[in-house]
């Protein structure tokens, strides 16, 4: 089965959007399988810049696109993105699974409330956590429900009273009633009806017909709800294995897992970050790499490349190859380092410990990288500065995986294949 997964190997924002866009050209369909409006990628198409949160990048290439049940959607944002695509003359070929959960206004209020408390972890405040929590509590509203007014009324009658009690108890202001939600959400359901379907079944049929399907991961491995730096994580599962639960596919053969690695590390929000940098180098990288959140505009925290983290990521995801992004950002920096191991109580660790307390005690062991200069116009690996090639080779050696794609700038043309 020709399944290709593109997965974020760090804390998200590795530049997956560009990589997915690049690979989309040669596939038949592109699938989002987790996360929601917390994700963000910038796509340039028809000379216009789009900031998308929900639609898979393949939409601009006229590919069939799917949003699987493991994702959650905010229907008004989805409609807005669809309208933007239509405005530039593209007819979106999109199917959103009936089972996908809907982010409701009370999810957003609740997310904001938790974020204003001492339990804040620095979420995007898009309602992601409360929406997935309702899914687990069996109190969610699904895409199915907003397509049928009678069903939506039944669901709201079941779940809304408790939400209202909670909002009132917490003195959180809200301006909706059951009737207003019913009207608003059945109306948007009506507008989105043409995009509703059994994505799971349709993706399976494509795979059976030997069509190539690209699975576009959102966020990154260490934001995974189980395997990330819990509790400083998102509420879905960005690791590669979740394509099966996120789309309802059998354990069919995956023939490619591209781990997207940024040439340095970044993180938005709270949580441990062993190789974090402060000061001038971090500022330089942040500005040059435009390291500000696509969804929230927050400045991202910056650090050196972290091999223990990437070795662990490789074990969680099983990379068949690596796409290395933003190496150009490090060009001309006099001092470049990477962390080869962690030191903990006199011992050397090759991987990230699963225990967060231990992780925060780990000291990174750094190695020097000889500085390099990139022009951004190089067309092949051999044209790259010899020291940049050495950096790429050492990543391959450390992770025992081939770097098959190197991105040397934001433009599609600034992509080198090996």
Q: Which stretch binds ligand IMP (CB under 6 A): 102-110, 230-238, 272-280, 374-382?
A: 230-238
- The residue to which tokens 């770097």 are assigned: 403
Nearer to ligand IMP, 243 or 349 (CB): 243
Identify which of residues 37 and 331 has a Cβ nearer to ligand IMP in the complex: 37
Nearest-approach distance from CB 60 to ligand IMP, in angstroms: 19
Asked if residue 81 binds ligand IMP (CB under 6 A), the reply is: no
Contact with ligand IMP (CB under 6 A): which of 67, 128, 349, 369?
128
Phi, psi of 375 (to 5 degrees): -90, -25
**What is d(CA 398, CA 365) in angstroms, rounded to the nearest whole number?**
14
Sign of the CA dihedral running 300, 305, 309, 313 = positive
Which residue from 57, 100, 219, 407 is in contact with ligand IMP, where contact means CB under 6 A?
219
C-alpha distances (whole Å) from 224 to each of 5, 55, 312, 340 are 16, 21, 13, 23
Positions of E strands within 222-344: 254-262, 265-267, 276-277, 301-303, 305-306, 321-325, 336-344
User: Catalytic one among 4, 21, 41, 306?
Assistant: 41
Taking the complex as a whole, the smallest distance from the CB of residue 289 to ligand IMP amounts, in Å, to: 14
Other beta carbons within 10 Å of 195:
18
Q: How far is the CB of 298 from ligand IMP (least distance, A)?
A: 7
Distance CA 192, CA 170 (A): 33
Q: Residue 189 or 274: which CB sits closer to ligand IMP?
A: 274
b vs e for 253-290, b when ≥16 Cβ sit within 10 Å of the residue's Cβ? ebebbbbbbbbbbbbbbebbbbbbbeeebbebbbeebe
Q: Which is nearer to ligand IMP, 19 or 39 (CB)?
A: 39
First-to-final CA distance of the chain: 24
C-alpha closest to that of 229 among 10, 8, 5, 6: 10
Is 392 within 8 Å of 327 (Cβ atoms)?
yes
User: CB under 6 A: which stretch of 96-104, 143-151, 216-224, 241-249 binds ligand IMP?
Assistant: 216-224
Q: What is the DSSP string of 39-78?
A: --EEEEETTEEEEESSS-GGGGGT-EEEE-TTBEE-HHHH
Residue 124 in the binding site for ligand IMP (CB under 6 A): yes
Per-residue binder mask for ligand IMP (CB under 6 A), 266-295, x = binder:
--xx--------------------------
CB neighbourhood size of 322 (10 A): 24
Binding mask 28-57 for ligand IMP (x = CB under 6 A): ----------xxx-----------------
From 122-130, 168-176, 342-350, 406-414, give the range in contact with ligand IMP by CB under 6 A. 122-130
Nearest to ligand IMP by Cβ — which residue?
269
* Count of residues that bind ligand IMP according to CB under 6 A: 20
121 or 147, CB closer to ligand IMP? 121
Q: Please identify, using beta-carbon distances, which residue of 28 and 113 lies nearer to ligand IMP.
A: 113
Q: Is 126 in the site for ligand IMP (CB under 6 A)?
A: yes
Q: Give the integer Cα–Cα distance in Å for 382 and 118.
A: 52
* Residue 411 bears catalytic tag: no
Residue 64 contacts ligand IMP per CB under 6 A = no
Write down the least CB distance from residue 217 to ligand IMP, Å.
Answer: 10
Q: How far is the CB of 354 from ligand IMP (least distance, A)?
A: 18
Q: 3-state DSSP: the chain helix, strand, coil percent, rounded to 5?
A: 35, 20, 40
Using rule CB under 6 A, residue 74 touches ligand IMP: no
Looking at beta carbons only, is 216 or 378 nearer to ligand IMP? Answer: 216
Note whether 13 binds ligand IMP by CB under 6 A. Answer: yes
* φ and ψ at residue 417, rounded to 5 degrees: -105, 150
297-356 residues near ligand IMP, rule: CB under 6 A: none
CA distance 164 to 125: 19
Q: Specify which residues 29 forms β-bridges with.
A: 64, 213
User: Please, which residues have CB within 8 angstroms of residue 31's CB and are 6 or more apart in sequence?
Assistant: 56, 65, 66, 67, 68, 199, 203, 213, 214, 215, 216, 243, 247
Residue 41 annotated to the active site: yes
Q: Residue 234 interacts with ligand IMP (CB under 6 A)?
A: yes
Q: Which residues are catalytic?
A: 13, 41
Residues that bind ligand IMP (CB under 6 A): 12-13, 38-40, 121-124, 126, 128-129, 218-219, 223, 232, 234-235, 268-269
């Amino acid at each position: 089965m020709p399944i290709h997964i593109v997965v974020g190997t760090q804390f998200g924002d590795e530049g997956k959007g560009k990589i997915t866009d690049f690979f989309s050209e040669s596939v038949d369909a592109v699938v989002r399988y987790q996360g929601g409006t917390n994700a963000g990628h910038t796509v340039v198409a028809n000379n216009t810049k789009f900031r998308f949160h929900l639609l898979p990048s393949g939409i601009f290439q006229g590919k069939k696109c799917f949003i699987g049940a493991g994702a959650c959607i905010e229907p008004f944002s989805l409609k807005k993105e669809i309208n933007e695509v239509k405005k530039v003359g593209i007819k979106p070929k999109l199917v959103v699974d009936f089972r996908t959960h809907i982010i409701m206004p009370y999810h957003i209020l609740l997310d904001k409330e938790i974020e204003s408390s001492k339990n804040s972890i620095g979420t995007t405040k898009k309602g992601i956590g409360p929406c997935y929590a309702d899914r687990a509590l069996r109190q969610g509203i699904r895409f199915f429900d907003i397509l049928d007014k009678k069903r939506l009324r039944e669901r709201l009658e079941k779940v809304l009273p408790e939400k209202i009690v909670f909002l009132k108890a917490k003195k959180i202001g809200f301006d909706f009633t059951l009737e207003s939600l019913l009207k608003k959400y059945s109306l948007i359901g009506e507008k989105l009806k043409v995009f509703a379907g059994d994505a799971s079944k349709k993706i399976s049929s494509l795979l059976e017909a030997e069509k190539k399907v690209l699975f576009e991961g959102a966020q990154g491995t260490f934001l995974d709800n189980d395997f990330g730096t819990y509790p400083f994580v998102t509420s879905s599962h960005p690791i590669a294995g979740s394509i099966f639960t996120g789309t309802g596919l059998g354990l069919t053969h995956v023939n490619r897992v591209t781990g997207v690695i940024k040439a340095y590390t970044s993180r938005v929000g709270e949580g441990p970050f062993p190789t974090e940098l402060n000061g001038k180098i971090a500022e330089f990288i942040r500005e040059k790499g435009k390291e500000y959140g696509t969804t929230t505009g927050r400045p991202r925290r910056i650090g050196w490349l972290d091999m223990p983290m990437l070795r662990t990521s490789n074990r969680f995801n099983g990379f068949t190859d690596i796409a290395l992004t933003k190496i150009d950002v490090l060009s001309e920096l006099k001092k470049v380092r990477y962390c080869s191991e962690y030191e903990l109580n006199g011992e050397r660790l090759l991987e990230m410990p699963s225990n967060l307390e231990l992780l925060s005690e780990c000291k990174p062991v750094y190695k020097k990288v000889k500085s390099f200069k990139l022009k951004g116009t190089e067309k092949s690996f051999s044209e790259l500065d010899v020291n940049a090639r050495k950096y790429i080779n050492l990543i391959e050696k450390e992770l025992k995986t081939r770097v098959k794609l190197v991105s040397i700038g934001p433009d599609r043309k600034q992509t080198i294949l090996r």
